Amino acid sequence: MPELPEVETVRRGLQPAMEGAAILSVETRRPDLRFALPLDISSRLAGQRIVSLGRRAKYLLVTAQDGTVLICHLGMSGSFRVEEGGAGATPGLFHYERSKDTAHDHVLFHLEGSDGRRARVVYNDPRRFGFMLFAAADGSHPMLDGLGVEPTGNALDGALLASLLAGRKTPLKAALLDQSLIAGLGNIYVSEALWRAGLSPRRAAGSIVTAAGGPTPRTERLAAAVRSVIADAIAAGGSSLRDYMHADGSLGYFQHAFSVYDREGEPCRKPGCGGHVGRIVQSGRSTFFCAACQR
């Protein structure tokens, strides 16, 4: 599922159950996801309280009281769900809601909240492209090093975007997907941002900055478009394709607000445009755009 807005939605959904809770144990039902799970995942975390659940780009960061940081990535199909001990549950006996797809429940965090209620947070991932790894003692990890700017907030302005794209001949689509430039965009939101900015995904990235590497109106439009599409998607609770659910079982609704993604053949939604949404493949992945208004 997850690009930045979906990961942020997951984080917000898990936060109430995880922050402040004590980890009783971590149950792994297979030895690996994309990478081998840490052999000591349970022994390093059991008995500790979770002090924060953070996010960097598409990574979730679980910080325990001794400073240990567990880095989680959801890959393409990873999801978390929270299962509360049912009302009236006695200690040690729980009535967890039955879930449809438990075949791919791979990692279970057994928790005890500060109120003494037990819950479990279950990681499910059919394709197993996700992973969990411990950061180094200082919180760093090679997977986090080299990540670019977050597209949230106002850090990504025209001047910064211009400096990132200057001199690059690679298509805008590829540049925006490059996590070392902007961290958190994925295939959906790149298409959406380029449509909002009225820019072709095929245009050379460096072609929207000045010779000196400064911003142009196109750069400003793209920076604003990236920020707005990410902000709008987070506000909508992310996108729920294929009924992809939140941790509490609810659905995001940004998919209804897609302007071009997965809308091949539909009329362009830009008022007065008259064009149609097309689909091309760039570096092996679908790009949706309107050739009439995206130049």
Known catalytic residues are 2-3, 58, 285
User: Judged by CB under 7 A, which of 57, 70, 199, 290 binds DNA?
Assistant: 57
Q: Is 56 in the site for DNA (CB under 7 A)?
A: no
- What is the DSSP code (8-state) at residue 215? B
- For 272-295, letters b (16+ CB in 10 Å) and e give eeeeebbeeebeeeebbbbeebbe
In the chain, what's the furthest Cα-to-Cα distance? 69
User: Judged by CB under 7 A, which of 44, 56, 128, 141 binds DNA?
Assistant: 128
**Closer CB to DNA, residue 152 or residue 170?**
170
Question: Measured from the CB of residue 43, what is the shortest distance to DNA in angstroms?
Answer: 25
**Closer CB to DNA, residue 186 or residue 215?**
186
Task: Pick the closest to residue 83 from 115, 42, 122 (CA basis).
Answer: 122
Q: Where would I find the beta strands (DSSP E) of the chain?
A: 22-28, 50-56, 59-64, 69-73, 79-84, 105-112, 118-124, 131-134, 277-282, 285-290
Residues 155, 176, 266: CA angle, nearest 5 degrees:
115
Of the candidate spans 81-89, 149-157, 212-220, 281-289, the one that interacts with DNA by CB under 7 A turns out to be 281-289
Question: Measured from the CB of residue 14, what is the shortest distance to DNA in angstroms?
Answer: 16
User: Judged by CB under 7 A, which of 71, 119, 188, 222 binds DNA?
Assistant: 188
**Closer CB to DNA, residue 19 or residue 262?**
262
Residue 285 to residue 144: CA distance in whole angstroms: 24
Of the candidate spans 43-51, 85-93, 109-117, 120-128, the one that interacts with DNA by CB under 7 A turns out to be 120-128
Q: Is 249 in the site for DNA (CB under 7 A)?
A: no
245 in helix, strand or coil?
Answer: strand
Which token pair is 261?
A: 């993604």
| Site of interaction with DNA (CB under 7 A) | 1-3, 6, 34, 57-58, 73, 75-77, 103-104, 126-129, 143, 167-171, 174, 179, 186-188, 238-242, 244, 252, 282-286
